[in-house]
Structure 1
């Protein structure tokens, strides 16, 4: 006499399907991190001359913008975001952050995308949080956030930086629910080789602290179902400092540094990740209550 087969209840099927999607997403992220490491391991970084840029004199092509104050920067970024929103370009990708993003050479940004640079030199996580509404009307496919080093230089606590990142992620997810949000790790500094004018303040921040802070940022990115892009190990030397060939002064990046960053972005932005599951969306809503 055969035993009757019990039908799998609906909630059980949904739970099984959700777990499968989560497992697939985990495998995909692990594979991409491994792919990124293997690709970068084969890169021969170009000499500054090959990019027609001298490491020692490398400055971004911002023209008179270098003389703008913060209020003027906000006005410029608002106008640019408005123009982009009115044209609704395909594959819009937004850079949001401080001078590291601001100075990203346009010729080194991954191709086949429309880039909107919403970064300001000297920006902090609190400052970025307050001005995210500047590009509310845009419809980005991706938003890339990197901010935090200026907070550390100004003495902001790790917890405040983490709290600001949490609010940044929540805001972006609410205003741009169809966008892929990337939280990028804070980069190390050059240690004793730093020549930046604020060297003393920078050296007061151990790179081990930045590494620990990045681990916390990874946790909140995972909890809020956004992509964490771990650039930190790609820029460090054997002492754990920012590699000399990748920086101009121990804080800002050289052309070679932007080549490394570009390669990482090419790998991560060339394919879409698995979209959030219904269960993850519910967790996100509960987290905001």
Structure 2
């Protein structure tokens, strides 16, 4: 007696192709940037600037927001969240965090959803925890959380950072029970190659400490049954430091860095789409023949 093989599901083929293309895009992007890094290493600063003017010249376009106080900034985020709560846009995704989220170029965000950016420059985990209620009335499909680097810069201990992260997740799960919460890893910094004005503070934070914190964050995410997005390996070189080709100053990201981040978010989005399609295919039909 012979049995016929089950046909490969359409959703599986879609997921395989999509993930392959997107992962290839990340690999090619990193490979290209590695080639540029090799060129930079054998070039003078002026020659490097000519070879990659975008990396040298990129400055986030914050406009007048960059000069606002924390409270003024918070007031603007409250207004934007209020508009989102009133309009209830479809596929709403919230970016909650610090300047890394804040400076995410709108034209690089995945286009298949509406975005509400709730990032504040210099934000800490304690600060974010205290202002989560700002977007209580919104109905997001996804909330992306990235926070922690400013805690480390300010000398906050690991236990306090992790405790705040736990409270952030618990609050979001309780307030937005139907929302997918995604906790993102803390990114590495550029170490000795950093040019950020607070370089000495970065040098006091070993990237090995960040990796250990990320391991704890992944454990927390698993315990809370939420998605964990480990971005650290994609941004780290073989020494574990931020790839200079993805950063403006060893702390903040340039367009190439945001492109990597965007690609990972797109992979996740396509996985969710394929998963939803799979669930629909598995549902028993209610049609009568």
TM (normalized to structure 2)? 0.79
Partner of 1:5: none
2-structure distance, mates of 1:215, 1:35: 28
Q: Does the 8 Å CA contact 1:142/1:179 hold for their aligned counterparts?
A: yes
Once the two structures are superposed, the pairs formed by residues 16-165 of structure 1 within 5 Å of their partners are: 39-43=25-29, 54-165=54-165
Give matches, 1:202-281, under 5 Å: 202-272=202-272
Distance 2:212 2:229 in 1: 15
Asked if residue 189 in structure 1 is aligned to residue 189 in structure 2, the reply is yes
5+ unaligned residues in a row in structure 1: which ranges?
1-31, 276-289
Measure how far apart 1:53 and its partner are: 7.8
Shift of 1:136: 0.2
CA contact (8 A) 1:188 1:232 kept: yes
Aligned residues of 1:53 and 1:255 also touching (Cα < 8 A) = no
| CA shift digits 1:235-256 (9 cap, x unpaired) | 0111110001000000000110
Asked if 2 retains the 8 angstrom alpha-carbon contact of 1:196 and 1:249, the reply is yes
Runs of 4+ in 1 over 4 A off after TM superposition: 32-39, 44-47
What whole-Å deviation, never above 9, does each CA across 1:65-89 have from its counterpart, x for those lacking one?
Answer: 1110000011000000000110000
Offset of 1:191 from its aligned partner?
A: 1.1
Supply the distance in 1 between the matched residues of 2:176 and 2:272 (Cα, whole angstroms).
16
Shift of 1:99: 0.3
1:104-139 Cα distance to aligned partner (Å, 9 max, x none): 000100111100000000000000000000000000
SS at match of 2:240: coil
What SS does structure 1 have at the residue aligned with 2:228? strand
Query: What does the per-residue CA deviation read over 1:28-80, in whole Å, with 9 as the maximum and x for residues that have no partner?
Result: xxxx9999755522336589x9xx98222322222111110000011000000
Q: How far apart, in 2, do the equivalents of 1:55 and 1:213 lie?
A: 29
Q: Give the aligned length.
A: 241
Q: Which residue of 1 aligns with 2:198?
A: 198
Q: Give TM-score scaled by structure 1 length.
A: 0.79
* d(CA) in 2 for partners of 1:100, 1:240: 19
- The answer to whether the Cα contact below 8 Å between 1:45 and 1:256 also exists between their aligned partners in 2 is no
Rounded to whole Å, the distance in 2 between the matches of 1:112 and 1:53 is 30
Please give the secondary structure, in 2, of the residue aligned with 1:54: helix
Q: Distance in 1 between matches of 2:119 and 2:111?
A: 19
CA contact (8 A) 2:188 2:210 kept: yes
Retained in 1: the 8 A contact 2:19–2:267?
no
